[in-house]
């Protein structure tokens, strides 16, 4: 039997846009909204950035609640359609859960300081100056690309495969593929290397070559670390995040549909 709306304790998070703020006020008048500490489900109003902010807040130590997003932003790939306030509690009660797991990144800077972070979309290495970046790439301890020269390289989850990865001509990954996309960014050498699709159990290590001349930064979703020496990335298999989608509008269907958009 489907869970009734009355059993849900709903918290609300929204972007600062006028549209999202107006909808949030209307929801607060319609539903019994509780503080996030008391909730079992979170409503996120905005675009994909709002959803990522909500998920990262939970990754950073907050309670890991299922999140139902409603698109009041631009792209809204991670969000459900905006069908208005009426009936939203019932939509949430009928929503289908989808589990996503983040990438865990450990980056070591040139001065030996270690930084850890999580990425739900991708971890990307990017040149800091006009000089081409040169990066060694190893998978599970074995060097696969001794020197990739270009603007950089990224490792994307299936959820993130339609974001920066797609813009860099990387492959779209079905959500249930249990794979990762390793994609070069404007590669110069090897010139025709298209990237690789790796099992999600892979541990990928990037080492920066000629760092004094060719400094490189790493970005885990929204967190940047500059002047890196090496970066280790793998799936954080112990962490599960739950997104809620209207039936028929789950993220795996959107990933399939995105491949037919022109």
In this structure, the chain runs to a length of 262
Helix (H, G, I), strand (E, B) or coil at 206: strand
Report if pTM > 0.75: yes
Residues placed in the known binding site for NAD(+): 48-49, 121-122, 151, 162-167
Is 212 an annotated catalytic residue?
A: no
Class of domain 103-235: mainly beta
Segment (H or E) for 253: helix 251-258
Indicate the pLDDT class of residue 250, thresholds 50, 70 and 90. low
Closest CA to 121 of 74, 80, 190, 168: 168
Are 89 and 97 in contact by the 8 Å Cβ rule? The answer is no
pLDDT digits 0-9 by tens, 56-76: 989 987 778 999 999 998 878
Predicted confidence (pLDDT) at residue 77 exceeds the cutoff of 90: no
Check residue 3 and give its pLDDT.
46
CA 189 to chain CA centroid, Å, is 28
Q: Retrieve residue 257's tokens.
A: 């549909």
Class of domain 5-101+240-258: alpha beta
pLDDT digits 0-9 by tens, 163-180: 899 999 999 998 778 999
Catalytic one among 48, 212, 221, 246? 48
Q: 């019994």: which residue's tokens?
A: 32
**Any idea where the domains of the chain sit in the sequence?**
5-101+240-258, 103-235
């Amino acid at each position: 039997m489907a869970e009734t709306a009355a059993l849900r304790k709903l918290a609300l998070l929204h972007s600062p846009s006028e549209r999202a703020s107006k909808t949030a006020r209307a929801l607060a008048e319609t539903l019994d909204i509780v503080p996030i500490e008391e909730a079992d489900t979170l409503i996120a109003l905005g675009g994909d950035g709002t959803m990522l902010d909500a998920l990262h807040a939970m990754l950073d130590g907050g309670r890991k609640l299922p999140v139902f997003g409603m698109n009041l932003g631009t792209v809204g790939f991670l969000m459900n359609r905006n069908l208005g306030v009426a009936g939203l509690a019932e939509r949430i009660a009928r929503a289908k859960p989808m589990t996503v797991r983040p990438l865990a990144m450990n980056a070591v800077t040139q001065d030996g300081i270690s930084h850890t972070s999580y990425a739900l979309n991708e971890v990307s290495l990017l040149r800091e100056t006009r000089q081409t970046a040169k990066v060694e790439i190893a998978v599970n301890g074995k060097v696969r690309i001794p020197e990739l020269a270009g603007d950089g390289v990224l490792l994307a989850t299936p959820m993130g495969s339609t974001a920066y990865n797609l813009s860099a001509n990387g492959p779209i990954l079905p959500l249930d593929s249990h794979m990762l996309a390793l994609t070069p960014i404007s590669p110069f050498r090897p010139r025709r290397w298209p990237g690789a699709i790796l099992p999600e159990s892979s541990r990928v290590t990037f080492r920066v070559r000629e760092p004094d001349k060719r400094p490189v930064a790493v970005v885990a979703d929204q967190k940047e670390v500059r002047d890196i020496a090496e970066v280790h990335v793998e799936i954080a298999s112990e962490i599960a995040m739950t997104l809620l989608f209207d039936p028929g509008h789950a993220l795996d269907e959107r990933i399939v549909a995105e491949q037919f958009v022109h």
